Amino acid sequence: MDREGKMGFSDVCIITLFCTLIMMSDLRGSSAYGLEDIQTAVLAVNASSHSGRKISDTLFGVFFEEINHAGAGGLWAELVSNRGFEAGGPNTPSNIDPWSIIGNDSTIFVTTDRTSCFERNKVALRMEVLCDNEGSINCPVGGVGIYNPGYWGMNIEDGKEYKVVLYVRTSAAIKLSVSLASTDGLQNLASSIITTAELNTSNWTKVELLFTAQGSNAQARLQLTTSNKGIIWFDQISVMPVDTYKGHGFRKELFAMVANLKPRFLRFPGGCFVEGEWLRNAFRWKETMVSWEERSGHFGDVWMYWTDDGLGYYEFLQLAEDLGASAVWVVNNGVSHNDQVATPNILAFVQDTLDSIEFARGSPNSTWGLLRTAMGHPEPFELKYVAVGNEDCGKKNYRGNYLKFYYAIKAAYPDIKIITNCDGSSSPLDHPADMYDFHIYTSSSNLFSMSKQFDHTSRSGPKAFVSEYAVTGSDAGKGSLLAALGEAGFLMGLERNSDVVEMASYAPLFVNDNDRRWNPDAIVFNSWQQYGTPSYWVQQFFKESSGAIYFPSTIQANSSGSLISSAIVWENSEDNNKNIKIKIVNAGSNTVNLKISVTGLQETINSSQSSITVLTSSNVMDENSFGAPNKVFPVENSLSNAGTEMNIVISPHSLTSINLPLGPTTYIAAI
């Protein structure tokens, strides 16, 4: 404005231009892609044989925790929630949620009692039917009974088979209908009739049924109904799809998403799930070493839901084996969030861990190896890593307890690598360890800058296990491109420092969209669909890095703070051909004309099979969803100008990967 408060022509022009820029930025998203400056940069890759360094064989893997209903109602394919009626606690009457009645209080009365045939979980359901089709109280059409909606709906698919198991007891003459139906009960997807004439149900009787669905419904439920007056007891009711991964009980589509990351290790079962808010609610592996009917289950008081523990220690070991991943077993060291065992009293916990290792690795003739054999796996599982506790380093008894675990495990199994909770990245540890945990949850810019976190870490001490990392908070939302780019920059730093970083895994891995205890997560699912967040797709860019050869790369630019690169040579297991992969993160809002120069390469580049893959989107805060699962998704194209000298355009806010298949070594004859 001029001195009199009036706008001159130049003022109007400036304000108009400013408003136009703001409007265009709003239309284009926060990056204002149409207006960015073009930046030039040079990327030099030294691919000479003497400059290469082997990356850890186990650098990138996955971490599974029972959080967000990741297992119960997720990867573990059981469809019935609270299948043993134990979730309400051992005292009766108890809450039977999510079970509910079909009928009303004049036709049916339901409660719990402690009459189960299972010693480890005594609670059963008592259903008293007050109506029939002949007396003063008539049952409604279809009868009365109970239903279970599963975990926010059971996904029943036409033509697929489902195994239904239930335990039933009654002294009355009954005709019980067992069915899979829609939420209103009108669509019958599969059903069978049980009668006392066919079964001796005066004592607890196991009933097994095999259903073939005659229709599809992603929100189906299990129904148990009758029109016969009398009392019926139920317990341990299960519905499992027959088509699980290798018949091992894992939901195939969720298993496939994890397997597609080619994880080199599986850390399990937590996380805070291992500790519990209180030790009485911590995960106890021995409680899962029985048939599913006998598993007592427990309340995970950190993430506030009940799990029947169908996904137990044996299943976790099987999961690691099925993934071709090394098992990383996180054990409770007598410490929870609110109570802890004093070191003089810790030996029982130490022995419990030694028993767990014997179960995994012991001979079929050993005490716990014999049980493993009886459960169907006579050959030992691979178990080479044990993490003692989770985020417990600052707790009063941690160091004393840790040392008891360390020396006992090393004495019995000297090859096992033991992981401490104490961070050794900045200063030496004051106790022995093979690796140390490093957890980081922060903003995108912070994590991006932490690509240099391990540059100055001592090369002589224990190696780092970055077992939990992610961008969280406002940068992340439910899984944004911005978060993924910060993580990509961090992972490139781990590649560069793979001589001191042995393993890394994102957290959390799974979230059921109906129970978001934590945001963001790598894989989002509900009863019938799933998608990967941008953070999941970033991990796809690094799945060839484990065991690859790392080559140094440098970027020269006027402002290179937003650019990070890495280069590896990896071998394709399908054709045994070598490939050079160059990755570039552009965390800035400018397009970059990048000149790439690869020197010292002895092999030739197969330009006809070279490709470029880009992960980006129109707005840096874009997320995927069930409605748009591939909004932020890697797009691959052929790269026609591939060679040791290339010019590549790098998009703003993007992760770019250039894959160059290599041919045989070229020899130049001396003249």
Q: What is the pLDDT of residues 443-479, one digit of tens each?
A: 999 999 999 999 999 999 899 999 999 999 999 999 9
Q: How confident is the model at residue 14 (pLDDT cuts 50, 70, 90)?
A: very low
- Residue whose C-alpha is closest to residue 175's, from 237, 236, 132: 132
pLDDT at 134: 86
CA 656 to CA 532: how far, in whole Å? 18
Is the pLDDT reported for residue 11 higher than 70? no
Query: What is the torsion angle, in degrees rounded to the nearest 10, for the CA atoms of residue 531, residue 75, residue 208 and residue 102?
Result: -60
Angle at 174 between CA 169 and CA 175, to 5 degrees: 120
Is the pLDDT reported for residue 98 higher than 50? yes
pLDDT tens sequence across 308-336: 999 999 999 999 999 999 999 999 999 99
Residue 99 amino acid letter: W
Q: Is 128 exposed, middle or buried (0-12, 13-18, 19+ CB in 10 A)?
A: middle
pLDDT at 390: 97
Q: Contact at 8 Å (CB) between 156 and 190?
A: yes
pLDDT tens sequence across 628-656: 999 999 999 999 889 999 999 999 999 99
The dihedrals phi and psi of 230, each to the nearest 5 degrees, come to: 150, -175
- State the residue for tokens 């197969």: 606
pLDDT > 70: percent of the chain: 93
Q: What value does the CA radius of gyration of the chain take, rounded to a whole number of Å?
A: 29
Higher per-residue confidence, 590 vs 573: 590
Q: Is 659 helix (H, G, I), strand (E, B) or coil?
A: strand
pLDDT > 90: percent of the chain: 87
Q: Is 14 helix (H, G, I), strand (E, B) or coil?
A: helix
Q: How confident is the model at residue 664 (pLDDT cuts 50, 70, 90)?
A: low
What tokens appear for 39 in the block?
């930046």
CA 156 to CA 527: how far, in whole Å? 9
Averaged pLDDT score across all residues of the chain: 92
Higher per-residue confidence, 277 vs 573: 277
Q: How confident is the model at residue 206 (pLDDT cuts 50, 70, 90)?
A: very high
- Residue whose C-alpha is closest to residue 182's, from 212, 214, 241, 222: 222
pLDDT at 572: 87
Higher per-residue confidence, 35 vs 299: 299
pLDDT tens sequence across 107-146: 999 999 999 999 999 999 999 999 998 888 999 999 999 9
Q: Is 127 helix (H, G, I), strand (E, B) or coil?
A: strand
Mean pLDDT value across residues 97-105: 97
CA 671 to CA 253: how far, in whole Å? 60
- Residue whose C-alpha is closest to residue 570's, from 556, 583, 588, 557: 583
- The count of other CB atoms within 10 Å of the CB of residue 226 is 25
CA 158 to CA 160: how far, in whole Å? 6
CA 151 to CA 514: how far, in whole Å? 9
Mean pLDDT value across residues 255-276: 98
Q: How confident is the model at residue 24 (pLDDT cuts 50, 70, 90)?
A: very low
pLDDT at 199: 74
Q: What is the pTM of this model?
A: 0.92
